[in-house]
Structure 1
Amino acid sequence: MFLPSRRILAAAAGAIVVAIVVFALTAVAAVRHNRDTVDRPQLSVAVDRTLRYVGPYLFCDDVAKRQCDPQRTPADIPVEAGQSIIVSLPDYISKRPWDVSVQYLYPNGNSTITSTPHLTPGESLIILKSTRQAMVAQIELHVPSAVQDTFGNLISQAVWAIDTLPPGYAPESQRS
């Protein structure tokens, strides 16, 4: 019967340990890559005859542990005066409480922000119209988590943000 030497056994054990470590590191990297590339819920946004899909500005898998995707830039979807923007929500949003904030810009340069909570699941469409008297400047949609900040406010688990001012738009008060 053949009995391997201690050196051969030690080398084989070392090779097995190295193979296990490489496998574990590869598995961890694959899990992280899959988590980073998971499709996130998207809004369907229509203006005039253009349809765009908007991913989240911010998305957290676990708010309490601060496991969030890197914050992105708001989507840039211009809405001219007289046009409407139609935002269709995916089931991920419409099946739970959510709220929408809309910033309007007025000819005198003032602006207002309206915030509307939607606590009853089922609503899945937002339609807003820009006019010369009130331009839709920005839309933010929030899905709250169960985690509260130090003031007792619910922290958003996901946020979608859309900048809607047309290029070069300036209120009448800022025009020369």
Structure 2
Amino acid sequence: MATKRVRLAQRRKASGFTQEKLAHLLGVERSTVVRWENAETEPQPWLRPKLARTLLISDDQLQELLDDVTAIKQQPTERMTYVLQGPGSADMVVVAHLHERLRQLDESYDQASSTTLLGPAGQVHGQVTFLRENATNPRVRRALYEVEADSATLMGQLV
């Protein structure tokens, strides 16, 4: 699951700033603002007062925005559909999604019957194999080999 600082992003937008404009005003890269909003990092302590002033909030309000991290369930179905139609465009995000789906199925192994998991596990295995066979990026192909081995192991357990 991805995490987001939804309220921080909302405050930035309400203040009339794009990520680029806020980054420029603070003297940081746009990717830094993205990482703040994705709850991957936090602003450096020396930068927080300037960020709070820019967003027209107090330091305490800024801390509340930074502490408010929301878990967001990603819906990669559109992305998977796109990648399955053009398998050469597979990237590490798709690999991570497939690996996560496989992990979820593996966790369900003790709670659900093998017959109910066999279909979804076979679908994941087929998608991984298909993408691996058509991947153009060697790093992605190598990662797909790893996921394929894990999915084959799970399939063997289910069968």
Instruction: Determine if the TM-score, normalized by the shorter chain, exceeds 0.5.
Output: no
Higher-Rg member (1/2): 1
Q: Which has the higher strand share?
A: 1
TM-score, length-normalised on structure 2?
A: 0.25
Whichever structure has more helix as a proportion of its residues is 2
TM-score (norm 1): 0.23
